[in-house]
Amino acid sequence: MMVITKIKDMQTAMQQYRREGKTIGFVPTMGYLHEGHVALIKKAREENDIVALSVFVNPLQFGPNEDFERYPRDLERDQRIAKEHGVDVFFSPDVKEMYPHPLSVQVVVKERVDVLCGKSRPGHFDGVATVLTKLFHIVMPDRAYFGLKDAQQVAVVDGLIRDFHFPIQLVAVPTVREEDGLAKSSRNVYLSPEERKEAPALYKALLQAKAAVENGERNAEAVCALVKQYIQTHTHGEIDYAEIYSYPDLKPLETLAGKVIIAVAVRFANARLIDNIILDIA
Amino acid sequence: MMVITKIKDMQTAMQQYRREGKTIGFVPTMGYLHEGHVALIKKAREENDIVALSVFVNPLQFGPNEDFERYPRDLERDQRIAKEHGVDVFFSPDVKEMYPHPLSVQVVVKERVDVLCGKSRPGHFDGVATVLTKLFHIVMPDRAYFGLKDAQQVAVVDGLIRDFHFPIQLVAVPTVREEDGLAKSSRNVYLSPEERKEAPALYKALLQAKAAVENGERNAEAVCALVKQYIQTHTHGEIDYAEIYSYPDLKPLETLAGKVIIAVAVRFANARLIDNIILDIA
């Protein structure tokens, strides 16, 4: 596995692969890799000649009161996991390499961001779209892999690739869960033992909603109420949102139809957890 | 010469050239081609296997009170000129093809835009950077050609390519002038016969400034005063700006040193003309 920290070196390496006619799968991450990331790597490994993985905790997508400083980092462990799962190129630039001076240009996301996490994290998706625009040009992949746990991120990247005509195929990979249903996340390490026990309630609440829809419930408000009630009853967390939208457009719905996302965010003492399910309603 | 109007067809054609290992030079224009554009085409023709030219009057870069509707258009003539000068691929999408729905993402330019034309045309360079991001991904050139008449645009594109790591070389081509010194521009057709006679005063004023600098003048304000006075004396136009900055950073200067731009914009009754010279001061 090649380990690269400089943009120029990365561009040169990837250009060489492209010249050889090799297809490139790209897994952009913020590191502290877990099985969710491994699922992305495995999918990329299946579909491409070369798998490139980036680890970059992007300051631009953190708000002033968010966890940029204490976001978990372990580059050695990340390299080991990446190597074990067949990553060919491991790209881990530092902040100075990615932002050597104030950016003269930035990507601003105008749709799909006034709801869910975008609403409570202003500027977050601008930071995501900007760093991905940089990374996409550095890596120039054929396919880019994202986890559906961050379903709004997938929707934003879908818009970014479509509207800017990036010659890249977006591959969305289902959420990987612990045995008790908790969605894998680097932020799970923040949870106290008691919170960890409560955390699977997010997914259980979503499954309750799913069951209600399967039993014929089509009223969005009623389904949201179910989700909220379950979480309030089973956790000490504070609900940030529990909402339903069309997917990937993220438009509000009164009556459920077509592809919809039910998404929740819950604040615990030391961590804010998110989860979602996407349903295709006939 | 291939004539293409659909994004998909353009991407397919350009991909084919890249697969064959051909280098691609790209000349993005708003059409109504004149000798300034021809100079870009010629330069691209010299340096690349394939020359692609786009003609797209981009609504996103026009302000609400600007000349989008009446901007001169003549696609047949543009095709003839392009063909005559050896363009291989002529890309002329319509507005609906480029903007089929509200953009979910946009590029915002944060540096190099609070001066010169950027100051009096808010949002203009956001529109330029956004459409170029789209076009760059559609064409995927090795080199992109821009005229130095729009020197601030060259500076903005320089920042766009650098900060987003587009794998594209920016080639800036010197301004082409009429025999009497007037910079070639599609907007020159707006001038009345009397205004046309006065218009070369912009360049003459810049040459006066250049002579003063060559004679040792290093005070930015004094040089600007010279330029303004000459234009005020020799035209009925209203000076929008006559300013000096470092180039391409476009930072203010009190004392001239290094690479500097002296730039003017003058409003006539039916047209706003711009011109500039770039000096390298030892």
Q: How far apart (Å, rounded) are the C-alpha atoms in residues A48 and B112? A: 40
So what CATH class is A186-276?
alpha beta
Check if A114 contacts B (Cβ < 8 Å): no
Q: What is the DSSP string of B75-99?
A: HHHHHHHHHHTT-SEEE---HHHH-
Position A258 scores a pLDDT of 96
Q: Architecture of B186-274 per CATH?
A: 2-Layer Sandwich (3.30)
Which pLDDT score, from 0 to 100, does residue A217 have? 96
CA atoms within 13 A on the CB side of B221: 1
**How far is the C-alpha of B231 from the C-alpha of B266, rounded, in Å?**
9
A contacts of B109 (beta carbons < 8 Å): 104-105
Tens of pLDDT, residues B39-91:
999 999 999 999 999 999 999 999 988 889 989 899 999 999 999 999 999 99
Residues in chain B with CB shorter than 8 Å from the CB of A104 are 109-112, 156, 159-160, 162-163
Residues 6+ apart with CB under 8 A from A146: A28, A40, A153, A154, A157, A170, A171, A172, A173
| pLDDT value of residue B203 | 98
Q: Which CATH superfamily is A2-173 part of? A: HUPs (3.40.50.620)
Residues of A in contact with B104 (CB under 8 A): 109-112, 156, 159-160, 162-163
Q: Which of B104, B111, B138 sits opposite A104 (nearest CB)?
A: B111
Residue B107 has pLDDT above 90, yes or no: yes
Region B157-177: mean pLDDT is: 97
> Tens of pLDDT along A198-233?
999 999 999 999 999 999 999 999 999 999 999 999
Residue with tokens 């949002």: B123
Concerning whether B236 is annotated as a catalytic residue, the answer is no
Helix then strand then coil, % of chain A, to nearest 5? 45, 25, 35
Length of chain B, in residues: 282
Chain A / chain B CB contacts < 8 angstroms: 89
At residue A138's C-alpha, the angle toward residues A135 and A143, to 5°, is 70
Question: Which helix (H) or strand (E) segment is B201 a member of?
Answer: helix B201-214
Cβ-defined contact of A162 to B103 (cutoff 8 Å): no
pLDDT tens digit sequence for B170-227: 999 999 999 999 999 988 999 999 999 999 999 999 999 999 999 999 999 999 999 9
What pLDDT band is residue B35 in, cutting at 50, 70 and 90?
very high
pLDDT value at position A282?
A: 81
Alpha carbons B220 and B214: distance in angstroms, whole number: 13
Q: Is A195 annotated as a binding residue?
A: no
Q: Three-state SS across A158-226?
A: HHHHHHCCCCCEEEEECCCECCCCCECCHHHHHCCHHHHHHCCHHHHHHHHHHHHHHCCCCEHHHHHHH
Identify the closest residue of chain B to A140 by CA–CA distance: B167
Averaged pLDDT of chain B: 96
A contact test, residue of B105, B108, B168 with most A CBs within 10 A:
B105
Domain assignments of chain B as residue spans, ordered by start: 2-173, 186-274
With b for 16 or more beta-carbon neighbours within 10 A and e for fewer, the A122-154 pattern comes to ebbbbbbbbbbbbbbbbbbbbbbbbbbbbbbbb
In which element (H, E) is residue B44 found?
helix B35-47
What's the gap in Å between the CA of A15 and the closest CA on chain B?
10
Q: Is the dihedral of CA B157, B161, B167, B171 positive or negative?
A: positive
pLDDT at B262: 97
Residue recorded with tokens 């943009």: A7
The answer to whether B170 touches B254, Cβ cutoff 8 Å, is no
Task: Test A134 with B159 for CB contact under 8 angstroms.
Answer: no
Q: What is the mean pLDDT of each run of 10 residues along chain A (282 residues)?
A: 98 95 97 95 98 97 90 95 98 98 96 89 95 98 97 97 98 96 92 95 97 96 97 96 95 95 95 95 87
Q: Which residues of B touch A107 (CB under 8 A)?
A: 105-108
CATH topology of B2-173 equal to that of B186-274? no
Q: What is the reported pLDDT for B187?
A: 87
